[in-house]
């Protein structure tokens, strides 16, 4: 195996790795993201059951007609019904796949694997053009969450690229 690209980040002999450093913070972020994606996937899976939509419509009918919550709930239910089962199934499959990638990133980063740093740079970096597009096309009042996501992803990519370049510049023990 080539010494140019080690699969495991090995700390130098004189400095033990800190328990909670930048890589571990990113790994924790990935674990939280995976948990939210799992919850989303479960919710999407439940939407494929027609009985859930019926129960939500029944519950919405018990709310006052002039309440904001009822209007928002009915609007969301109509939007979901308009998607159709096929689109929901595609969304479900994409969410499961993305969750798997995020979990692999998180586990690899937690174990300090260099391949996980590369995977995270590629996967996270690939989202940045879409986030930039959203920043350019969204109305001004809808940009805060996208700006926060873009900034966080850009910082993660910058940090990991900096770390990878720094590691590659160091001489490897033979």
- Of 20-24, 87-91, 97-101, which range is least confident? 87-91
Per-residue pLDDT at 30 exceeds 80: yes
pLDDT recorded at residue 6: 53
The answer to whether the CB of 120 falls within 8 A of the CB of 156 is yes
Q: Find the mean pLDDT for residues 78-105.
A: 88
Q: Mean pLDDT across the chain, nearest whole number?
A: 84
Taking the C-alpha atoms of residue 9 and residue 35, their distance in angstroms, rounded to an integer, is: 26
Please state the rounded mean pLDDT for residues 102-110: 97
Give me the long-range contacts of 19-24 (CB less than 8 A, separation at least 24). 22/159, 22/163, 23/109, 23/110, 23/112, 23/117, 23/163, 24/109, 24/110
Backbone angles phi, psi at 93, to 5 degrees: -65, -45
Confidence at residue 18, expressed as pLDDT on a 0 to 100 scale: 64
- pLDDT recorded at residue 14: 41
Higher pLDDT, 53 or 92: 92
Of the pLDDT bands very low, low, confident and very high (cuts 50, 70, 90), residue 143 is: confident
Q: Could you report the per-residue pLDDT of 49-72, keeping only the tens digit for each? A: 778 778 888 888 888 777 787 788
pLDDT top residue among 68 and 134: 134
**Residue 67 has which token pair?**
């309440």
Burial 143-167 (b: 16+ CB within 10 A, else e): eeebeeebeebeebbebbeebbeee
Token couple for 49: 């059951």
For 153-172, what is each residue's pLDDT tens digit?
999 999 999 999 998 887 76
Closest CA relative to residue 109, chosen from 38, 16, 31, 2: 31
């Amino acid at each position: 195996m080539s010494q140019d690209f080690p699969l495991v980040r090995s700390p130098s002999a004189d400095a033990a790795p800190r328990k909670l450093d930048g890589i571990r913070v990113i790994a924790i972020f990935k674990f939280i993201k995976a948990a939210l994606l799992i919850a989303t996937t479960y919710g999407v899976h439940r939407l494929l059951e027609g009985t859930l939509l019926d129960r939500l419509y029944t519950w919405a009918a018990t709310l006052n007609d002039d309440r904001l919550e009822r209007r928002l709930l009915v609007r969301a239910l109509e939007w979901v019904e308009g998607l159709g089962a096929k689109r929901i199934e595609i969304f479900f499959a994409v969410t499961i796949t993305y969750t798997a990638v995020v979990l692999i990133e998180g586990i690899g980063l937690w174990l300090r694997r260099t391949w996980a740093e590369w995977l995270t740079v590629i996967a996270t970096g690939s989202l940045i053009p879409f986030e930039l597009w959203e920043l350019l096309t969204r109305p001004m009042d809808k940009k805060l969450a996208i700006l926060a996501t873009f900034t966080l992803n850009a910082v993660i990519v910058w940090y990991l690229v900096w770390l990878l370049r720094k590691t590659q510049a160091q001489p490897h023990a033979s």
